Amino acid sequence: MEKRITVLPGDGIGPEIVKQATRVLQAIAHKFSHKFTFNYGLIGAAAIEVYSDPYPVETHKLCTECDAILFGAIGDPKYDNNPTAQVRPEQGLLKMRKELGLYANIRPVELIRSLAHRSPLKLERVMGTDLIVVRELTGGIYFGEPRGRSGNRLSAFDTCRYSVEEVERVARIAFKMAARRRGKVTMVDKANVLETSRLWREVVMNIHEREYGNIELELMFVDNAAMQLVTSPAKFDVILTENMFGDILSDEASVLTGSIGLLPSASFGVGSPLFEPIHGSYPQAAGKNIANPIATILSAAMMLQDAFSLNKEADTVKSACFETINEGWLTPDLCDETDAKSTLEVGEKIIEKILSANVL
């Protein structure tokens, strides 16, 4: 199999973690006789420095001429600490999602038993956690118009807007995923306050009744969902929600596993699918060879499975990651600093396991 992959390392630790993920993909290509071609582009602060644009047309062209996109991280203190900056790295990610029509973000959260002690929750609460957050990605308050400042900049406003079509297409993805899992969707909203949430509730209930009556549908307000994620996380199977709620809840869910550096994600829609770790650019660690590459490597595994239908190859990557973790090859976010391995060492151990794996 031959596939073209656009690689966007981004900012901060992005280049370091993406390098390990591409090396893993190269190992898979070698072991299973595939050919992956990598084309690199700039995004975020790295792109602003060169093009004065966080998502330049050159990068967009690469993203439209590939089979999948591997993305690292975005963000830079130079812009984060300047509230008056007109151009920001994060605008590049939002623009990419919008222009590629990537409307559904999939974030799996699964507890690794050997790391359960790293969770901030008590063992009895966190055990059994295995959920997926399906987040609508191109609508809502992050994209709604009008938005801006008024009254001599003494007030500000944003618009949250959703259409029936936007809700329907992401809801169907959530129900289909639940059908392959434990058969339950929890739809999270704020329908007691927000009109957009009432639209969400109406549309999701209608789709459930018409098309997915065999799936259990639970309706939950976002404040209750936030509490239950830290009191009874194992009760959730598939969480379906809008853009901002999904952003917040998926980050909350990420800490259940003990480190945000373990969790991958994928975004699907009209254009080439995007695969990325859920964490940020972690600029304090940039260049220090201490960042956890596993979330990015697991994102590459999601690419193999969900974009290329290479299930055996994806399972090989995931098994190598879990074996590496279980044997104690951990970056500083998961162990005492004296026992920690580097980004490179963890990547090399995973590659070693891939190449030596006995695959039937």
Q: What average pLDDT does range 325-340 have in this prediction?
A: 91
3-state SS class at 159: coil
- Where does the chain have alpha helices with state H? 14-32, 45-51, 57-64, 77-80, 89-100, 123-126, 164-179, 195-211, 222-231, 243-254, 294-302, 311-326, 343-356
Contact indicator for 20, 9 with CB cutoff of 8 Å: no
What confidence score (pLDDT) does residue 78 get?
87
Kindly give the pairing relationship between strand 216-221 and strand 68-73: unpaired
> In whole angstroms, what is the distance from residue 235 CA to residue 327 CA?
29
**Most distant pair of Cα atoms in the chain: their distance:** 68
Q: What average pLDDT does range 202-215 have in this prediction?
A: 97
> In whole angstroms, what is the distance from residue 275 CA to residue 303 CA?
6
**pLDDT surpassing 80 at residue 304:** yes
Site of tokens 């695959």: 359
Regarding the domain delimited by 1-102+263-360, which CATH topology (the fold level of the hierarchy) does it fall under?
Answer: Isopropylmalate Dehydrogenase (3.40.718)
Residue 81: both structure tokens together: 């600490």
What confidence score (pLDDT) does residue 181 get?
97
**pLDDT surpassing 80 at residue 82:** no
Count CA within 13 A, CB hemisphere, residue 154.
2
Q: What percent of the chain has pLDDT over 70?
A: 100
Q: What average pLDDT does range 285-299 have in this prediction?
A: 97
pLDDT band at 84 (very low <50, low <70, confident <90, very high): confident
- The Cα-based distances of 220 to 5, 105, 192, 284 in angstroms read 38, 20, 11, 37
pLDDT band at 85 (very low <50, low <70, confident <90, very high): confident
The pTM of this model reads 0.91
Closest CA to 234 of 334, 333, 146, 122: 122
Alpha-carbon torsion (283, 288, 290, 296), positive or negative? positive
Contact indicator for 145, 110 with CB cutoff of 8 Å: no
DSSP tag of 328 = T
What confidence score (pLDDT) does residue 164 get?
98
- The Cα-based distances of 218 to 66, 187, 191, 231 in angstroms read 38, 6, 13, 17
What confidence score (pLDDT) does residue 195 get?
98
Kindly give the pairing relationship between strand 216-221 and strand 104-110: unpaired
What confidence score (pLDDT) does residue 277 get?
95
pLDDT band at 217 (very low <50, low <70, confident <90, very high): very high
- Residues 6 or more apart whose CB falls under 8 angstroms from that of 66 comprise 4, 5, 6, 39, 272
- The Cα-based distances of 286 to 30, 192, 290 in angstroms read 29, 43, 8
**pLDDT surpassing 80 at residue 141:** yes
* Active site (catalytic) residues: 142, 190, 223, 247, 251
* φ, ψ for residue 54, nearest 5 deg: -75, -15
**pLDDT surpassing 90 at residue 113:** no
In sequence order, the β-bridge partners of residue 240 are 134, 187
What confidence score (pLDDT) does residue 33 get?
96
What confidence score (pLDDT) does residue 2 get?
97
- For the chain, where do the domains classified as CATH 3.40.718.10 start and end? 1-102+263-360, 120-257
Q: What average pLDDT does range 25-38 have in this prediction?
A: 98
CATH code that applies to domain 120-257: 3.40.718.10
**pLDDT surpassing 90 at residue 254:** no
Closest CA to 282 of 274, 297, 293, 298: 293
Q: What average pLDDT does range 48-63 have in this prediction?
A: 97
